Chains A and B, each alone.
Chain A
């Protein structure tokens, strides 16, 4: 079953595009990465999903319910961490858990204390006295304490130290294993790469890729470095399946645009001293999605 479904979802701010014709499906129990540079429409999508913004066109559903009309019912099953988290400065962690529990009509204190222990947060400190990182941890605890079916996290690792980022990843994996769905928005590929099993990439409000990480790796190009036996050989033109990025004396650096077999066959007949074939580099693919107008094949 798909927890999140959008069909031709469009949201415009006057003439400016927020998101355009976005069709997306997020399966239940998945760790779904939502990638895109700043201003690409990630937060707009989340705000439409949570009923803060009305779609200009198209449809968005969570658990089969309409995101605008049934937003109250939907949010009983959703935990949300906003990208620009602001909490009430007068409350401390315990008061926040009690208040949020009272609004949700659930006891969040036990689970909240457990999560605070995991994330090493003192719940007795007032929000106004917390550092940014501490507030982020409290925001995460408040989003997760009611054990939601769907967790929507908008750039959750911002202001968390690497240790806490790892702790969060471990916890999210545990949740996903237990059947919870995680919608993880980020502009950093590396954190999505180590956590998520499926990724959608957004650019200028449009969805330019929606695939598993394995599929994306297959699409991505391998880095190739070649060391020629002498300088004169290095001056020749590269074969069509090799996209040369740098030529430095006897060395070539480039990307493999064809198959490994093509490269090996060609290399066997060349005066090459050394050849290195890198792992499929998602960063390169990701950058291409970001930078180019046309979707890479």
Chain B
């Protein structure tokens, strides 16, 4: 690892990390507070509308018909589209910095004109990314805890179960990031790379959703990254989703590694 490269990566990314981290914390406070505040109304609504149950089953990745309890309300705070948008936005924007971002703004020449290897640059940026990703999710967890504390009612999240959800979400974040590294590796245009990754995660989200209503989609739902992120069973049972996390980690790690090889071997031209 090169300290100068790490300092540069952190210097360039801390603002974005802070904005998205605070955004996630605020979203979690608002969701946790609102869901607990209106849990009675939500429970009534829940039992009356079947479609809502199916829709949430799609988002949670688990059957929720008989569980309109506090775990389900807590889980909503971790599967809300705003949460996904913030977490994925960070993964996508960060992981397309190298090389697509550097080539796009024409600074790759200056950066690689110094005695650093491409792998060294790739690894150092990855370390900074992992650290900032952890910060974002911890801010989100802190926001969730704070929202619960502020809201009326005694439904406080179990810290152990919350930690497992965060770990599962971090694995999902790594998988999306791994994809972004891979797409960025051969790319010269950051905007295009971000668009491709966004399209993929959106498709992944929709596939997971459709799988609950449409059997052809259900057969291929294992291809969706969200298939391996299920906060509701975690909050209900407190068990580690080991298999899901391993699949997400292997996907992210594999995509990252292939991206690294592509970056190390590709031609770099700002012309």
Contact = CB atoms under 8 A, between A and B. Distances in A.
A196 to B, nearest CB: 22
A100 B8 CA distance: 10
B41 interface: no
B110 A86 contact: yes
Contacts of B110: 80, 82, 85-87, 139, 142
B113 A78 contact: yes
8 contacts: A53-B267, A82-B109, A86-B106, A86-B270, A90-B11, A102-B7, A105-B4, A139-B110
Interface of B: 2-5, 7-8, 11-12, 105-110, 112-117, 120, 265, 267-271
B113 A103 contact: no
Given A43-B271, A52-B267, A86-B107, A99 B117 contact: no
A173 interface: no
Contact of B112 (A52, A88, A100): A52
A57 interface: no
B113 A80 contact: yes
A134 B54 CA distance: 62
Interface centre among A73, A100, A101, by most chain B C-beta atoms within 10 angstroms, is: A100
Contacts, number: 79
A158 B5 CA distance: 29
Interface centre among A88, A101, A105, by most chain B C-beta atoms within 10 angstroms, is: A88
Contacts of B4: 99-105
Given A50-B112, A99-B8, A104-B114, 15 more contacts: A52-B108, A52-B269, A53-B267, A53-B269, A73-B115, A75-B115, A82-B113, A82-B270, A88-B12, A102-B4, A103-B4, A103-B5, A103-B116, A139-B110, A143-B113
Contacts of A54: 265, 267
B61 to A, nearest CB: 41
A80 B114 CA distance: 8
Interface centre among B105, B112, B113, B269, by most chain A C-beta atoms within 10 angstroms, is: B113
A102 B113 contact: no
Contacts of A78: 113
Nearest to A139: B110
A71 B107 contact: no
A47 interface: yes
B136 to A, nearest CB: 21
Interface in A160-194: none
Interface residues on A, range: 20 to 34
A101 B115 CA distance: 11
A283 B109 CA distance: 32
B106 A84 contact: yes
Nearest to B108: A52
B109 A103 contact: no
A14 to B, nearest CB: 12
A103 B107 contact: no
Contacts of B105: 86
Interface string A70-114: 011111101010101111101000000001111111000000000
Interface centre among A43, A82, A105, by most chain B C-beta atoms within 10 angstroms, is: A82
Contact of A99 (B7, B112, B116, B120): B7
B107 A104 contact: no
B2 A103 contact: yes
A272 B31 CA distance: 100
A72 B268 contact: no
Contacts of A50: 112-113
Interface string A117-153: 0000000000000000000000100110000000000
A52 B115 CA distance: 13
A50 B116 CA distance: 12
Nearest to B113: A80
A65 to B, nearest CB: 12
A106 B4 CA distance: 11
Contacts of A82: 109-110, 113, 270
A82 B108 CA distance: 10
A71 B113 CA distance: 9
Nearest to A48: B267
A191 B12 CA distance: 38
Nearest to B6: A102
Contacts of B8: 88, 99, 103
Contact of A86 (B3, B12, B109, B268): B109
B10 to A, nearest CB: 12
A84 B108 CA distance: 11
Contacts of B3: 102
Interface string A43-71: 10001001111100000000000000001
A82 B5 CA distance: 20
A99 B8 CA distance: 7
Contacts of B271: 43
A87 B110 CA distance: 7
Interface centre among A82, A85, A103, by most chain B C-beta atoms within 10 angstroms, is: A103
A71 B109 contact: no
Interface in A15-63: 43, 47, 50-54
